[in-house]
Amino acid sequence: MSQIFPKWTNRLPAIIALSVVVLVLSVIGFFWYYGSPKYTDVGYRPVQPVAYSHKLHAGDLGMDCRYCHSSVERSPVANVPPTQTCMNCHKLILPQSEKLLKVRESWSTGRPIPWVRVHELPDYAYFNHSAHLNAGVGCASCHGNVAQMEQVTQSQPLSMSWCLDCHRNPDLSLRPPDQVTNMTWTPPSDQLEFARRAKAEKHINPPTDCSGCHR
């Protein structure tokens, strides 16, 4: 009696099983990458109400980050500079520039400029700016070289795994206190020895348990 089905159908269950495995892994891989902050958040660059150039101010003019973000060394939250900070200079520098129209309107009306935050963590994650800067973590470690950005762009995912990688091994992120705002600082050859001393002197022991960031 002749066979009803050809011989290749004997391999059909294995082919179906392999196809299902490949499909499941592909779906998981798709969402693992395209649903991660590395893909969804890195590169975020919102349009701001005023075309403020960090490259001009922090880069070409060499303004220190702390002139505008004045509370980062003593506050858990990085402050968005008030209009007064802008007008400290622009009452005299380019006071009639069209680019500064909204700044002058804010100054005259008392209504703050509606800046759009670029780096914003979810409410369930606790982050203290002052603790990191006082430990010697530089601005560029999280924000990138802002002094070269016309528009501030998110350069790091700021995800839980990204933060934990640094908490578990902070040595390359630590720098001398007078270098925290230096956007071009690079670790020296004796960085590991410096980090060892800094951790001992400042009692730096970043938490890696849940309560460190979720309170």
pLDDT at 12: 83
Residue 2 has pLDDT above 70, yes or no: no
Tell me, yes or no, whether 155 lies in a domain. Answer: no
Judged against a pLDDT cut of 80, whether residue 1 lies above it is answered with no
pLDDT of residue 170: 96
**Number of domains within the chain:** 1
Boundaries of domain holding 31: 7-39
Q: Which two tokens stand for residue 211?
A: 């309560």
Phi, psi of 137 (to 5 degrees): -85, 125
Residue 56 makes CB contacts below 8 A (sequence gap 6+) with: none
Is 23 among the domain residues? Answer: yes
pLDDT higher than threshold 60 for residue 48: yes
3-state class of 114 per DSSP? coil
pLDDT value for 38:
86
Mean pLDDT of all residues in 82-92:
96
Measured distance CA(7)–CA(150) in Å, rounded: 66
Q: Tell me the CA end-to-end span of the chain in Å, nearest whole number.
A: 74
- Residue 137's DSSP bridge partners are 174
Kindly state whether residue 26 falls inside one of the protein's structural domains: yes
- Residue 97's pLDDT is 94
Predicted TM-score of the model (pTM) = 0.81
What is the mean predicted confidence (pLDDT) over 118-136? 94
CA distance 37 to 16: 34
In order of 27, 38, 140, the CA distances from 153 in angstroms are 29, 13, 12
The band of 201, judged by pLDDT with boundaries at 50, 70 and 90, is: very high
Domain assignment present for residue 16? The answer is yes
Residue 50 placed within a domain? no
Q: H/E element holding 29?
A: helix 12-34
20 falls within a domain: yes
